[in-house]
Chains A and B, each alone.
Chain A
Amino acid sequence: MGTAIKADAVAPWHRRRVRIYDREAPLGYLLLVPTLLILGIFLLYPFLFGIWLSITDSELGNLGNFIGLGNYRFEWRNTDGVFYTAVANTFLYTGVTTVFKLALGLVMALLLNQAFPFRRFVRAALLLPYIIPTVLSYEAWRWMFDPTFSVINWLLVNTHLVAYPGPNWLGVPANAMAALMIVNVWRGTPFYAIAFLAGIQVIPLDLYEAARVDGATRWQQFTNITLPMLRPVLLVVLLLSTILTFADFQGPFVLTNGAPYNSTQLLSIWAYQWGIPGGAIGLGAAISLVLFPLLTLVVAGVLFMLRRPE
């Protein structure tokens, strides 16, 4: 009532502007414009451009012509073998690292939630893998995995866990994949741990007290209270992490770049190799876009597994 009277009182030239502010729907869209603009420029445009590239024979420095779905026929370029390896590796890499990050992150969060001296300091230190610039840390890992100068092997040999000279980490297919996973787990676990820690800390303590009086052991408290109460956090962390790991590039690129013999080839690396050094930007775009439906499937799977139990 009050605003209507005021609107009538203002000068006519002023009235139209007041009306826009008063009506919610147009004002809402108006306020969305900046966000939509930014999203459009930085997300939608590259995405659509990528789709366009993938259906052309573009090369670096030369926008090509429409060729339909040709780039997606990987067998045409006799790359279909590598394609399937890369897909399988991407799934393996994401699956294995996610399981480890999840488990280790949870254990870490539970430990960090206990009272111990220098707790704040340790909590902060835990984030180090996440803070160090990846170029530095991945180079350091490459050095640690070096066949001649490997610190890891030096330790393993000197503690008599393995015979001299120790495993060739990055030169043997299975070892190389394991090395990539170790580094990814090392870098990704703090994210899980911190998220889980935050999730654990908002669980009301009286739930645990009630459970203790009700006769629950520590393990039963964990499975009946902590885990189910963490479900929302778990969902978000798992989704984010799956997406990021599925498209992970930096670690695998620095450490192996697909070697040896494409045994650590991932879709992201392979797309880069064709698109940038190989110059076939259209094919590279096609390979990266293959990630998209696969990732959608994986995300749907995660959402299904963590659906609300009713």
Chain B
Amino acid sequence: MASVTYEHVTKKFSADTTAVDDLSLSIKDTEFMVLVGPSGCGKSTALRMLAGLEDITAGQIKIDDQVVNEMPPRDRDVAMVFQSYALYPHMTVFDNMAFGLKMRGSSRTEMDSRVKEAARILRLDQLLARKPRQLSGGQRQRVALGRAIVRQPRAFLLDEPLSNLDAMLRVQTRIELQKMHQRLGTTFIYVTHDQVEAMTMGDRIAVMKDGVLQQVAPPREIYDEPVNMYVAGFIGSPRMNFLPVTITDHQAKASGLELKLPKAPGVARGILGIRPEHFLPNVSADDAVIDLKVEVLEVLGADQYLYGKVGSDELIARVDPQLKVSVDDHVRLGINMRRLHLFDPETEQAVF
């Protein structure tokens, strides 16, 4: 159990590749922290510096109150689950899981009891004598988790541990990971490019882009109050709609829409952000209303997505699947004004 602190951490692989740029982030003891961002944004690098697999170019990383910049991985007492699982192909499941204990000179009986315990939790009891190549993808993934659990480390580092599983197994394992976090009560640092994983698992989410941390907050807050257009667009599916507007006082005007903003932003131009799920089917007198010309529609059972145009702007709306719509229809939808976002077009920062 431990807290982890990144203080102005930078990682340059060469003069012109900065993988992580001035990252400051503090992760509390027993917290489930998710680092999320698109491929290549520096998530893995941030995690690998913590594990001791990459040197730190500038800044420092602390585990509890100890600076670990120069500490070799073996002394950090953290466990890592790799995206590839990195199971030792020549060892049995048992030996894979016992490896960390063996390297630290644990007794045979202790190895035995801890591996058996972890195997029971992960339902690997029957597979202990197998080699990794004799396992399915999901089983391998559990062995990789088991190898980490057995060590009872101060923190678990997981680098996209679910990305090689099929969709159903991924959801199932996601839930098991959350249970495991509750049971173990250890700090988890979890890297993923999948915003659904981030939203469902994280106590807090750290969103990264091009090596730069954008926002750290609990999932709800990230969703409700994104600090900039990047976070707003990355979290949520389908993506938030962005409509360029000109503003005079309280009035915002887009190509096919005019509405009264809840407060005067004091800027002349802006970008409205409206999530597809924040349109209202029943339009009342004082709501802002759009007239959406439907071009494509997708019915997904529980939801229905309308893709179309408002004036000259593209827009996606999520509506009740019972709503009977066909292509080329014009649909009148209200806008949930309390969920409206406005961004500065220059800085892309949120105005509200």
Which residues of A does B touch, CB under 8 Å?
204, 206-207, 209-217, 220, 224-225, 228-229, 231
A178 nearest CB across to chain B (Å): 37
Cβ contact of A209, chosen from B82, B89, B147, cutoff 8 A: B82
A231 nearest CB across to chain B (Å): 8
Interface residues on B, range: 20 to 34
Contact present for B53 and A214 (CB under 8 Å): no
B51 nearest CB across to chain A (Å): 5
Contact present for A220 and B80 (CB under 8 Å): no
Give chain B interface residues in 49-76, CB to chain A under 8 Å. Answer: 51-53, 72-74, 76
User: Within the assembled complex, what's the spacing in Å between the Cα atoms of A228 and B90?
Assistant: 7
Contact present for A214 and B82 (CB under 8 Å): no
User: Within the assembled complex, what's the spacing in Å between the Cα atoms of A24 and B86?
Assistant: 41
A214 CB contacts on chain B under 8 angstroms: 74, 79, 99-100, 103, 147, 151
Instruction: Annotate B29-61 by CB proximity to A: 1 below 8 A, 0 otherwise.
Output: 000000000000000000010011100000000
A225 CB contacts on chain B under 8 angstroms: 88
* B84 interface residue (CB < 8 Å to A): yes
A231 CB contacts on chain B under 8 angstroms: 90
* B191 interface residue (CB < 8 Å to A): no
B127 nearest CB across to chain A (Å): 16
Known: A204-B86, A209-B82. 10 other contacts (CB 8 A): A204-B84, A207-B88, A210-B86, A212-B73, A213-B74, A213-B76, A215-B74, A216-B74, A217-B103, A229-B89
Known: A220-B103, A224-B99. A213 touches B78 (CB 8 A): yes
A229's nearest neighbour on chain B, judged by CB, is B90
Contact present for A213 and B80 (CB under 8 Å): yes
Known: A225-B88, A228-B90. A216 touches B103 (CB 8 A): yes
Contact present for B53 and A213 (CB under 8 Å): yes
User: Within the assembled complex, what's the spacing in Å between the Cα atoms of A72 and B76?
Assistant: 68
Contact present for B52 and A211 (CB under 8 Å): no
A221's nearest neighbour on chain B, judged by CB, is B103
User: Within the assembled complex, what's the spacing in Å between the Cα atoms of A211 and B73?
Assistant: 9
Cβ contact of B86, chosen from A206, A220, A229, cutoff 8 A: A206
Contact present for B84 and A206 (CB under 8 Å): yes
User: Within the assembled complex, what's the spacing in Å between the Cα atoms of A204 and B132?
Assistant: 15
B342 nearest CB across to chain A (Å): 45
Q: List 18 A-B contacts (CB under 8 A).
A: A204-B86, A209-B48, A209-B51, A209-B86, A210-B80, A210-B82, A211-B103, A212-B72, A213-B52, A213-B53, A213-B74, A213-B76, A213-B80, A214-B79, A214-B103, A215-B100, A215-B104, A224-B99
Contact present for A206 and B82 (CB under 8 Å): yes
User: Within the assembled complex, what's the spacing in Å between the Cα atoms of A217 and B105?
Assistant: 12
B149 nearest CB across to chain A (Å): 13
Known: A217-B74, A228-B90, A229-B90. A211 touches B99 (CB 8 A): yes
A304 nearest CB across to chain B (Å): 19
List of 3 A-B pairs having minimum Cβ-Cβ separation, nearest first: A214-B100, A210-B86, A215-B74
Which residues of B does A touch, CB under 8 Å?
48, 51-53, 72-74, 76, 78-80, 82, 84, 86, 88-90, 99-100, 103-104, 147, 151
B54's nearest neighbour on chain A, judged by CB, is A209
B78's nearest neighbour on chain A, judged by CB, is A213
A232 nearest CB across to chain B (Å): 10
Cβ contact of A213, chosen from B51, B84, B88, B104, cutoff 8 A: B51
A228 nearest CB across to chain B (Å): 4
In this complex, the member of A209, A211, A216, A231 whose beta carbon has the largest number of chain B beta carbons within 10 angstroms is A209
Contact present for B84 and A212 (CB under 8 Å): no
B76 CB contacts on chain A under 8 angstroms: 213
Known: A220-B103, A224-B99. A212 touches B86 (CB 8 A): no
User: Within the assembled complex, what's the spacing in Å between the Cα atoms of A206 and B103?
Assistant: 17
Contact present for A212 and B52 (CB under 8 Å): yes
User: Within the assembled complex, what's the spacing in Å between the Cα atoms of A83 and B236?
Assistant: 85
User: Within the assembled complex, what's the spacing in Å between the Cα atoms of A211 and B80?
Assistant: 10
B89 CB contacts on chain A under 8 angstroms: 229
B80 CB contacts on chain A under 8 angstroms: 209-210, 213
In this complex, the member of A206, A215, A225 whose beta carbon has the largest number of chain B beta carbons within 10 angstroms is A215
B95's nearest neighbour on chain A, judged by CB, is A224
A227's nearest neighbour on chain B, judged by CB, is B90
A211 CB contacts on chain B under 8 angstroms: 88, 99, 103
Known: A206-B82, A220-B103. A212 touches B88 (CB 8 A): no
B88 CB contacts on chain A under 8 angstroms: 207, 210-211, 224-225
Cβ contact of B79, chosen from A207, A213, A217, A224, cutoff 8 A: A213
User: Within the assembled complex, what's the spacing in Å between the Cα atoms of A212 and B54?
Assistant: 12
Cβ contact of B53, chosen from A207, A209, A229, cutoff 8 A: A209
